[in-house]
Homo-oligomer: A and B are copies of this chain.
Amino acid sequence: MRALMLSTVLLLSACRPQPESLDRANLRIGLESAAAHTAIDAINIRYQRYMNENLVDSVASLFMESAVMMPPNARAVIGKENIRQWFAENPIPAGASYTFAAVEVTANGPVVVELGDYNFSMPAAGKVPAVSVNGKYVVHWRNVNGRWLQAATIWNEDTPVSQ
């Protein structure tokens, strides 16, 4: 009887939720980051296709309702519907294409930060020479009911783009 009571007391104290140690958190974050990297690579393949085919509804479907998009040389675009409209007003020219890839992904549960590189290429057309611009980006992804959606996106070019 006394042994059982003791075991109950021990269990109760073992049961108290312990704050996760920093080492344990970093280990878990490493594992979650690797899994999120794989998931985001898969999304980015679709995302590139949607962008390059100007499927603006599909592009918008990858953003949260409250998303913030921060294009260079323009004000921030706030909200999924405004982002959809921005893509509709800034279509990718025929023949041109964006490619991008995650370089580093950090995930802690539903909060993910992706760092990546992109390239925008456009073939020469008549007297207009071909364009190839490299840049970099950061995306804040959130897991919303099991789906990864963009909460914030920002990018900039590696070299000045002539206006």
Rounded to whole angstroms, the CA-CA distance of A162 and B155 in the bound complex is 19
Q: A106: CB under 8 A from chain B?
A: yes
| Most chain B CB neighbours (cut-off 10 Å) among A104, A155, A156, A158 | A156
Q: Are A106 and B15 in contact (CB under 8 A)?
A: no
Interface stretch (choices A39-47, A51-59, A72-80, A82-90): A72-80
Task: Give bound CA distance, A70 to B113, whole Å.
Answer: 14
Query: Given B11, B74, B155, which contacts A11 in the complex, CB threshold below 8 Å?
Result: B11
User: Does A29 lie within 8 Å of B156, measured CB to CB?
Assistant: no
Given A12-B11, A72-B72, A29–B104 Cβ distance below 8 Å? Answer: no
Copies in the complex: 2
Q: Contact residue range for chain A?
A: 35 or more
A136–chain B nearest beta-carbon distance, Å: 5
Question: Roughly how many angstroms separate A15 CA and B92 CA in the complex, as a whole number?
Answer: 55
Q: Does A113 contact B136, Cβ atoms closer than 8 Å?
A: no
Instruction: Jot down 8 A-B pairs with beta carbons below 8 A, ordered by A.
Output: A4-B8, A22-B145, A72-B156, A75-B158, A111-B113, A136-B154, A138-B154, A154-B155
